[in-house]
Each structure stands twice: as C-alpha cells, then as structure tokens.
Amino acid sequence: MYRLLLLGVVVFSCLFAENRYSMVEIYVHEGNAEKIADLSFSMECTAHQHSRNGDILRLPLTANEMKRLQQSGVSYKVIIDDLSSFYAKRSQEDLEEARNELRDSGTEMKLGSMGGYFTVEEVIENLDYLSEKYGKKDLITIKKSIGKTANGRDIYMVKISDNASQDEQKTEAQVMYTAAHHACEPAGLMTVFYFMYYILENYETDKRVRNILDNRELFFIPLVNPDGYAYNQETNPNGGGLWRKNRNKTGVDPNRNYGPMKYWNFKNKGSSDDPEDSTYRGTQPFSEKETQAIRNFVATKNIRLNLNYHAFGNVVYYPWAHKDVIASPHCLPLVERMTRFNDYSYGSSDKMIYPIRGDADDWFLEEQNILSLTPEVGSWWDGFWPSPKRIFKMAKENVDANLVTAEYVDELDK
Ligand SMILES: [Zn+2]
C-alpha cells in the first residue's frame, strides 16, 4: 500500500513537473550564445530585448528544460515561478474591469470564458455567429473543415469577401490569416477574430475596408491546432495553460513540421528531434494532420500573402526563418508598412534570435511562392495569456497591419 502510494506521488509529481512552467530571463552574450542555441528551446514566441552588450531573452521553460539549462552551465534568473497560476490569477483579477471597458467598444465581439479568451466551443460559436449574421449579405461563407486532427477535431476555415459564396479568384487576389499553430498563444487567435469582426462590421461604412473586401478573397484559419488548445482548456479552464504542441502522442510542434525537407532537416539549430521537447519537429515534414490540412488547403487556392499569428514578442518575422537572408525584396517594404503604427520590431528569426527549421513561412515561400510573415503579439509581460484588459488593445494594434497586408498584393505585381 505504502509503495503504491509512493508510486502515485512520484507519478503525480512528474506530471506536475512537466506541466509547470517558469518565466526565465537569460542574458545572452558571445560567450553563451552557442550553448543556448544548442538547447533548441522554443525561442521565436518569446521576448528578446537588445542592449549594447548583448540580448536579454525572456522565455517560459518547463521543469525539464530548466534542468537542461542548469546542466548547460548558462546562468539565468527565474522571474515568474509558476507561470500558469500567475496568468490565471491575473486574468481573474482583471476580468470584470476588462468587460466594463468593452461596453462601448463598437464591436459585437465579446471576451471568451477562458480567462477572457475563447474556448474551442466559443471559436465555433463565433464563426457560426458571423456566418449567420453576415452570410445574409454574402460577406462570409459558413465554416468549412480543411481537415481533422489526430484527436478527430475539425480545423475550420471561413472566407470573407464580397460575393463570398462565389469563387472570384480570377478577379480577386487571395490573402490568408492563420493563428494558434501553438496552442498556448490565444492572443493571436483573438487578434485574428477581432479583425474578422472589424471588417464585417465596417464593410458598409469604411471605404478602405470595402475596397479590400470588394477586391480580395480573405481566408481565415483562426485555430490551426485545436487539439493542443483543447488540452490547455481542459488542464487550465481559467486560462494559463502552456501546452504548445499538438496532441499526437507526445506532441509535435506544428511550426517545425513544414517542409521542404532541406529546411526541415537543415544543418543548424532551430528544432528538436527529441519527442519530449517543445520544439519537436515530428518524424518527417508534414507528418502531422495540422500541417497536412494547411498544405492541402493552400494547394486548392491561389493565395498571394499570408500572416501566421503567434505570441509573444511585439515583433514581425519575415523569411527566411532558417537563415539570416532576406528572402524576398518585398519583405522590408511590407513589414515597414505593417509596423508603422504598432511599432513592432522586425527581422528574420535568425537575425533576431536563432534560426528556425520547418517553419510555416519558409514553406509558404519556397514551395508555394506565397510571401508569409509571422506577427508575434504582445510583450513579455503580456506573455502567453495576457490580461483580458489587453486582448482588444493588442488586436486593435494589428488591424492596420492586416489591412496593409491585404492591400500589399498590388505591390507584388508591380
Ligand atoms: Zn508561436
């Protein structure tokens, strides 16, 4: 009996340790940069602050990752010990004030019930609500599943455009917006939803919005990784869940699972071949249902520009992700316009932090000739579950960036 009890305690504490995350601060300088890169932590959805003598990285780590960091000899400081509890507590404290602030916000979009963020069910309800209300004006399609996950959930897409029920790709350029490749980044999801509400609610009164919807077909996939998101909802119903990957066995990082093979397998850091790691890349490019769904959907369209929303960092990454080379002459002009109001920083992830292998943007450009960028919403203090008071502010900060992206297609053809 005692042994059984002891076993139970050990199993429980292992599970607990795996689910426990801390926010860690690392001072990066020439002497330790290589060692940190070798650890293959998930660096892109984190914050880094540049200073004259080096960079300060602030990133959430599991107990196991902290152990590896300790073993590597790199010095660090824990700035928030139990990150999930910290996020959930902050959300609960700020929720009422956030709701009050939204009374006159000019949108029908409401906060969700998971610390202010939409649950999986609320994602579906909101898609259905928009389709029902604006489908009457043929501005949005009903949601369509572009594929099923390992756990049998649908990955949904809607199109927003004038004459949405018709295929107008011969005359209207196509642009796409995705969010939540990473399950612990609901701020990206809310930012994309806010934009959907914004363009539908303002179509009739705002000339700029009208011009875009009349001349573009916009596709939205607001929740690429519903299995991982549902898992966070289950473990942390008030928000604060920090599971990042999908839920296929030990989980694969969808943003390390894109091809082509030569990038997925590129000989540098930037993804992990250890299934336990948060940047585990899978057994081969497109081994996962989520990346297969995106690939198959994109194959049926003629998309020109794409944004993959993530969190956090207040930064926009442009390709390449696997090396520090600006992949297209359009990267800088586009990103400069996108960030003119929100003042996000920008660069390739390799230049800003470390190279990334198997990321979506590289595949979009290399294999599909689609320019694809990654906005990372929020500061390190916002983190993965920003206060509900910040949800609409961050979303509004990105409305112009989203409109600019839709408009920029004209420049691609010049
Ligand atoms: Zn991310």
Cα distance between the two ends of the chain: 76
ipTM surpassing 0.90, yes or no? yes
Amino acid 36 reads: I
Backbone φ, ψ for residue 362 (5° rounding): -65, -40
The H-or-E segment that residue 47 falls in is strand 47-51
Phi/psi for 131 (5° steps) reads: -65, -40
State phi, psi for 104 to the nearest 5 degrees: -110, 40
Residue 4 has pLDDT above 70, yes or no: no
Mean pLDDT for the chain overall: 92
**In this model, does residue 11 exceed pLDDT 50?**
no
Domains and CATH numbers, the chain: 18-84 (3.30.70.340), 87-412 (3.40.630.10)
Q: What is the pLDDT of residues 56-109, one digit of tens each?
A: 899 899 888 999 999 999 999 999 999 999 999 999 999 999 999 888 888 999
Q: Of these residues, 65, 185, 376, 407, which one is catalytic?
A: 376
Among the residue ranges 49-63, 333-347, 356-370, the one predicted with the least confidence is 49-63
- Catalytic residue check, 376: yes
Query: Hey, CA dihedral for 386, 392, 395, 397, is it positive or negative?
Result: negative
pLDDT at 3 over 60: no
The segment with the largest mean pLDDT, out of 32-36, 41-45, 156-160, 260-264, is 156-160
- Which pLDDT value is given to residue 9? 45
- Return the percentage of the chain with pLDDT > 70, whole number: 95
CA of 207 to the centre of ligand 1 (A): 33
Instruction: Identify the residue whose tokens are 């230049």.
Output: 351
Q: Which amino acid is at 145?
A: S
Q: Specify the length of the chain in residues.
A: 414
Residue closest to 345 by CA, chosen among 330, 355, 332, 326: 332
**Ligand 1 center from residue 317 Cα (angstroms):** 11
- The confidence score (pLDDT) of residue 170 equals 95
How many Å lie between the centroid of ligand 1 and the Cα of residue 253? 9
Cβ count within 10 A of residue 59: 26
**CA distance linking residue 146 with residue 219, whole number of Å:** 12
- Shortest CA distance to 177 belongs to which of 38, 75, 18, 309? 309
Angle (CA) 380 381 386, round 5°: 105
Instruction: Output the six-digit token pair for 125.
Output: 């309800």
Alpha-carbon distance 25 to 19, whole Å?
A: 19
18 pLDDT tier (thresholds 50, 70, 90): low
The tens digit of pLDDT for each residue in 214-250 reads 999 999 999 999 999 999 999 999 999 999 999 999 9
Q: Confidence class of residue 190 from pLDDT cuts 50, 70 and 90?
A: very high
| C-alpha 213 – ligand 1 centre gap (Å) | 28
Residues contacting residue 114 through CB under 8 Å, at least 6 positions apart = 122, 186, 233, 237, 238, 239
